[in-house]
Structure formats: C-alpha cells, structure tokens
C-alpha cells in the first residue's frame, strides 16, 4: 500500500531514495500481493518490533504470501508523531507508538498515562486484558485509525546525569525530556523539574550535549537507546506504566478484503502475548547491562511522589470519559 509519492507527501524527503525504490519493487512482485509497511522508533530486537515482525510472518504464512509486511525499525521513517500522521493519511499502514504521544488527539489514552493509575505491570496487564484495551482501541475509529493492540512497556522511572532522585525536591531545576503530552508536561512541573518535549531519537544527543539533564522511561528503552552511557542515576519512581499502542491506517485497513481485515485484527490481539514474552525475557538483562556499566539505581519516597502527582490526577478525573476508563482500571486491583 505504501508508495513513493505517499512517503514523500508525508514529509519524508530525507528518506533515502534507495529505500523507497526497494519498497516499491517489493510491493510489485505479484499482481495479487499486498505489501504492508510498519514503523517503530525502537531497535530491531525490541519486544514491540519482534511482535510486529511476528504479525508479518503469520500474515505471509496464512495467506500464502498474498499479504506481507515490511518493518522499518529504529526510527527509519521518522518520529512517532510523524508516523501517526502518516498512518492517518494512508502513507503508512501500521505503526507502534507510545500512548503519551496520543493523549492530546485521542483523549481515552489519557487514562492510561495518568500517574500511578496502575499499581504494577501485573495490574496493568490484568486490566488491559479485562476489557480496558478494547475500550481504548475503539476510540481510534473516530479519527482515521484502527487500534490493533496495546503493548505494555513496563514502569517508567527517572534517570539523570546529576544525582539520585529520592523525593520530588531532588528534581527541582533539572531539565528532563518528556513525550509531547500535556499530562507528562504537567507532571514534570508538579515534581519541580523543567520538562523539555523531545523525541526519543533526539534524547541521546540531548544528554551528550547537556541540552537536558535526564529523562523518564522504562528500563528496556533506557538500555536499548544507550542513554545509560550519559545518565548514571536511575531512580525507581514508577510514576507511570503508560503502554504502547499498535495502530493501522483506517483508509488502508478498509481497502483490504473483509477476511484479511479479520485476520489482521486477530493477529494484532495475539501479538500481545509475543510482545510480553519477549519483554519478560529481556528486561532483566537490560537492567544487568546498565548496572554493570556503572549506573546507580535507588528507591524513592513513593508516598511523596504520589502526593505531588495527585492534583494532576484529580483534574483529569473531572473528564467523564477519562474517569470511566480510570474506574475500570482500578476495579482490577
């Protein structure tokens, strides 16, 4: 479905012409075949990339090669915000994005990103599997996207180049990278730090050049993006378990045959298990890697962080749709 004109029209003029030509040739190998394209900013062996690769293999196997998928990982097609727009307008078929990038345009995702809405990864998975994922995914139908799956992504914590963070006061004055989400911008301010919206791909150079002092993310991303090479302090705030979401262009989804649409939706849901198995197998290894390279991890005053975050939580719960998802999540504690 992807075309050279589609990529360029989506603002990807910097993408190498050779990549585009290869994509076009691959899509034309057979008149009755369809090549779907997918993107992710994470590296090739990251759990979400592995899960989408699995979808591609199953699509090809179950359709006898009539449906195939090509994954562009490691941010080859740009930032997550760009991928969202590309999918909406049909220049890209499938993309995996962090839910924080979706908060402003898709309000139901806000409930997933509220501070301390999930008590643990186990709680998050239980709630998502219990109907929360389906409720949120339906919300994408309003604006040109199809929600295929919600991939959990561990707990998010702070890391920085200066010192350990034990209580919110320790964050005062630090410049921290955050996703382009009003929730995370406000949360960082409540904790006393200076939020700096920045893509994941720009964060490494931001740390290296001291444009920022730190960021917040899960352990696997901290390791795979090599941020630990600059940020030596990891503090277990656990302030968010905001998950990732796998989306497809509604325009391109509707062009598929009904049976193919059903297959893709089914594989999307089943890929969650693939993603989780990969996550559970690699998160501990990532932690060992960063600690072996001299990163100092510490516990925090969790009660103090929860108290500091509470005003934000209460304000968002004034929105009926957000409050409804929040209550559904909390029923699984």
What is the DSSP-derived secondary structure letter of residue 295? P
The parent domain of residue 36 ranges over: 4-152+243-281
251-274 pLDDT, tens digit per residue, is: 999 999 999 999 999 999 999 999
> Does 39 lie in the same domain as 93?
yes
pLDDT band per the 50, 70, 90 thresholds, residue 31: low
193-220 pLDDT, tens digit per residue, is: 999 999 888 999 999 999 999 999 999 9
Inform me whether the pLDDT recorded for 38 exceeds 70. Answer: yes
pLDDT given for residue 169 in this prediction: 97
Cα distance between residue 318 and residue 147, in whole Å:
25
Report the number of distinct structural domains present in the chain: 2
Cα distance between residue 24 and residue 3, in whole Å:
6
pLDDT band per the 50, 70, 90 thresholds, residue 7: very low
pLDDT band per the 50, 70, 90 thresholds, residue 141: confident
> Does 22 lie in the same domain as 103?
yes
Q: Is 39 helix (H, G, I), strand (E, B) or coil?
A: strand
Reported for 203-208, long-range contacts at CB under 8 A and 24+ positions apart, including other chains, are: 203/177, 203/227, 204/230, 206/177, 207/161, 207/231
pLDDT given for residue 80 in this prediction: 93
> Does 315 lie in the same domain as 252?
no
> Does 163 lie in the same domain as 144?
no
H/E stretch holding 69: strand 67-72
> Does 231 lie in the same domain as 99?
no
State the alpha helices, DSSP H only, in 110-257.
110-113, 121-127, 133-138, 182-190, 200-208, 219-224, 250-255
The residue among 146 and 8 whose pLDDT is bigger is 146
pLDDT band per the 50, 70, 90 thresholds, residue 1: low
> Does 213 lie in the same domain as 148?
no
Displacement of CA 259 from its chain's centroid (Å): 28
Task: List the single range of 29-33, 127-131, 298-302 with lowest mean pLDDT.
Answer: 29-33
CATH number of the structural domain spanning residue 292: 3.40.190.170
> Does 229 lie in the same domain as 88?
no
> Does 60 lie in the same domain as 123?
yes
> Does 147 lie in the same domain as 210?
no
> Does 13 lie in the same domain as 137?
yes
> Does 175 lie in the same domain as 141?
no
């Amino acid at each position: 479905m992807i075309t050279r004109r589609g990529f360029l029209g989506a603002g990807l003029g910097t993408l190498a012409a050779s990549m585009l030509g290869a994509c076009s040739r691959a899509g034309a190998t057979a008149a009755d075949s369809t090549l779907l394209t997918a993107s992710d900013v994470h590296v090739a062996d990251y759990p979400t990339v592995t899960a989408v690769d699995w979808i591609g293999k199953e699509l090809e196997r179950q359709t006898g090669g009539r449906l195939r998928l090509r994954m562009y990982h490691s941010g080859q097609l740009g930032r997550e915000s760009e991928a969202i727009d590309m999918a909406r307008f049909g220049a890209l078929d499938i993309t995996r994005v962090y839910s924080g990038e979706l908060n402003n345009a898709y309000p139901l995702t806000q409930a997933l990103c509220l501070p301390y809405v999930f008590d643990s990864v186990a709680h998050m998975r239980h709630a998502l599997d219990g109907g929360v994922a389906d409720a949120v995914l339906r919300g994408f139908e309003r604006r040109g996207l199809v929600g295929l799956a919600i991939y959990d992504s561990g707990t998010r914590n702070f890391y920085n180049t200066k010192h350990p963070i034990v209580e919110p006061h320790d964050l005062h004055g630090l410049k921290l990278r955050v996703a382009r989400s009003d929730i995370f911008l406000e949360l960082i301010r409540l904790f006393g730090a200076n939020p700096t919206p920045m893509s994941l791909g720009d964060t490494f150079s931001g740390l290296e050049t001291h444009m920022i002092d730190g960021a917040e993310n899960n352990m696997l991303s901290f390791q795979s993006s090599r941020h630990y090479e600059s940020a030596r302090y990891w503090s277990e705030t656990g302030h968010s378990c905001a998950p990732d979401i796998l989306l497809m262009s509604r325009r391109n989804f509707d062009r598929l045959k009904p049976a193919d649409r059903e297959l893709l939706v089914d594989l999307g849901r089943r890929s969650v298990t693939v993603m989780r198995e990969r996550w559970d197998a690699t998160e501990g290894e990532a932690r060992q890697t960063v600690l072996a390279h001299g990163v100092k991890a510490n516990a925090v005053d969790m009660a103090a962080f929860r108290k500091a975050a509470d005003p934000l939580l209460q304000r968002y719960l004034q929105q009926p749709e957000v409050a409804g998802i929040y209550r559904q999540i909390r029923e699984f504690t």
